[in-house]
A and B are shown apart, each in its own frame.
Chain A
Amino acid sequence: MNRPRRDLLPLLLIPILAVAALPLVGSPSSWVTLTVAGLAMGMMVFVMASGLTLTFGLMDVLNFGHGAFIAVGAFVAASVMLSLGPWMAADSFWLNMAAVGPAVLAAVVVSGALGFAFERVIVRPVYGQHLKQILVTMGGLIVAEQLLKVVWGPEQITLSRPTALRGAFLFGDIAIEKYRVLAVAVGLVVFAALALTLNRTRIGLLIRAGVENGEMVEALGYRIRRLFVGVFVVGSALAGLGGAMWGLYQETITAAIGAQVAVLVFIVVIIGGLGSVGGCFVGALLVGLTANYIGFLAPKVALGSNILLMALILLWRPQGLYPVAKR
């Protein structure tokens, strides 16, 4: 029997899309800007979506309240950064990072904690009942959004990027925003960390096996329920990280920020295949690129184009780009 070839076709879609867009965009410098923007946006969405896809793959739980973690991450990071305003505005890179670092850390910790509470209180009682899960997590999102308004007030918060991350690298005609480069770097680090954990550690092995057949993993003697909480918390923490990054990207934050980007997160999770981190990664980049290319070419239909993308991919592979072999 031949060793099967690695399924690289979905991965190739990314360069194919980028190359196809070049003639449409016209100017190479614009194309570079858009491509970097698309990759940056894709990376941030990936960070937010990776937790959701694992949670669903492993626990068969779809958390419609995932947007709440994103929003909380954005708000907490914003609060910390605003309180360290002088450091953010300072000219020193390290001083800037001294403000951003704790902000991001706080965002991750608080979102993770919220995720823990969410799993215990809202999700755990409805394991296995998909309809109730959808309803209850939706309710959780509503309540969380309102609570955000209680704590932070209903007005939007403006957040400026720290000095070191403002502006762009200039290469002749081409301007590449510094922040976007950072976003891509962070996204790659998160992906690498997840990939390593999943493929090289025992816990990763458990997760991958659990995504396929949780029952059998239990029959082998593993208390997989405990793993669920861990994965849920990591997923919500990652969502918080993504939210913090997204908040800095958008530079204005409202309580609805989670729900707004959540639609993109769901599209990415569906495109990638529920339970596949690799699929999520590819899907997120495709979505980011599409949103930016179409945003440039025909701004009115940007979101619609992503839905079209989702429809096309589902027609090609109904279970997503990298479906996980189930039960």
Chain B
Amino acid sequence: MTEALLSLRGVETHIGQYHILHGVDFEVPEGGLAMLLGRNGAGKTTTLRTIMGLWRASAGEIRFGRRDITKLTTPDIARRGIAYVPETMAIFADLTVQENLVLAAVGGPPEAKRLDWIFTRFPALKTFWTLPAGFLSGGQKQMLAVARAIIEPRRLILVDEPTKGLAPAIVANMMEAFRELKDGATTLLVVEQNFAFARQLGDTVAVMDDGRVAHRGSMAAFAVDSALQQRLLGLGMDTHQ
């Protein structure tokens, strides 16, 4: 059995007076794509932000590789090899596409091969290379956000709702990109509401409910259990967004 790349045990998070995570337990195995599903408000984004150190866990333990990263600061967590693509994409609108990627390439100028891959998958980024990123369309911004996360090799990429609000054609493109990524050496943990996307790409799945992980297992098994889907997500996974 492959050792888990990322493991959370009993993670609790408080935001102000609100107790959001009530003891999250799950593991992300190395290689492949793990899906984090759940209803709105279940705590998925909070989980990702807690892993990234943007919110401090008030209890529990987060391990990456073999290191305990629970108490590390966000920059240190990023430097250990975790990239983050937030729900809001968080691209720097006043910076050009080029500057966004240069900044994301922390170690030095971007590697030519990677840049080529990005330009092939996301041609819009090459077209608007010197344009301030704020002028990109929603789909193009999402591409930029993902490109930023992969401009340098990372062991784990956290992605929060990559297809939210995107047109179907762009979603398909995104799906292809993710497929190629996970076949490489990168592990991905993706939060999604688009069930078709989740079902086709996910290898393992963790479903959250009320600040806890209510189910974990293989995507294949979860995908055929419509009763379980109904109970945890309120809808069957055949439902498209």
Contacts and interface: CB of A to CB of B under 8 A. Distances in A.
A324 interface: yes
Interface stretch (B4-12, B85-93, B190-198, B201-209): B85-93
Contact of A213 (B92, B128, B135): B92
B8 to A, nearest CB: 18
A300 interface: no
A219 B94 contact: no
A280 B76 CA distance: 34
A221 B152 CA distance: 12
A218 B74 contact: yes
B106 A1 contact: no
Interface stretch (B17-25, B56-64, B97-105, B233-241): B97-105
A218 B102 CA distance: 15
Contacts of B106: 220-222
Contacts of B110: none
Contacts of A3: 131
B52 A206 contact: no
A3 B94 CA distance: 14
A212 interface: yes
Nearest to A223: B75
A26 interface: no
A224 B92 contact: no
Given A4-B135, A219-B52, A325-B134, A208 B92 contact: yes
A1 B75 contact: no
B160 to A, nearest CB: 11
A221 B79 contact: yes
A224 B103 CA distance: 13
Interface string A216-241: 11111111100000000000000000
A189 to B, nearest CB: 24
A220 B103 contact: yes
A215 B93 contact: no
Contact of B128 (A1, A215, A218, A327): A1
A307 B79 CA distance: 47
Interface in B114-136: 128, 131-132, 134-135
Contacts of A222: 75, 106
A304 B134 CA distance: 37
A325 B94 contact: yes
Contacts of A121: none
A97 interface: no
Task: Determine the main DSSP class of A at the interface with B.
Answer: helix
Contacts of A208: 92, 94-95
B94 A324 contact: yes
Given A218-B74, A222-B75, A205 B135 contact: no
Among A206, A215, A218, A324, max chain B CB count under 10 A is at A218
Interface string B50-70: 001010000000000000000
A285 B74 CA distance: 40
B78 A205 contact: no
Nearest to B128: A1
A209 B75 contact: no
B52 A212 contact: no
A218 to B, nearest CB: 4
Contact of B94 (A212, A217, A220, A224): A212
B91 to A, nearest CB: 8
B99 A205 contact: yes
B84 interface: yes
Contact of A218 (B75, B88, B104): B75
Contact of A212 (B76, B92, B102): B92
A324 B95 CA distance: 11
B212 interface: no
Given A205-B99, A219-B90, 16 more contacts: A3-B131, A4-B135, A205-B95, A205-B103, A209-B103, A212-B93, A212-B94, A212-B95, A216-B86, A217-B103, A219-B52, A219-B78, A219-B86, A221-B75, A222-B75, A223-B75
The list of the 3 closest CB pairs from A to B, nearest first, reads A221-B78, A325-B93, A216-B90
Interface of A: 1, 3-4, 205-206, 208-209, 212-213, 215-224, 324-325, 327
27 contacts: A1-B128, A1-B131, A3-B131, A4-B131, A4-B132, A205-B99, A205-B102, A205-B103, A209-B92, A209-B103, A212-B95, A213-B92, A215-B90, A216-B92, A217-B103, A218-B73, A218-B75, A219-B78, A220-B103, A220-B104, A222-B75, A223-B75, A324-B94, A325-B93, A325-B94, A327-B88, A327-B90
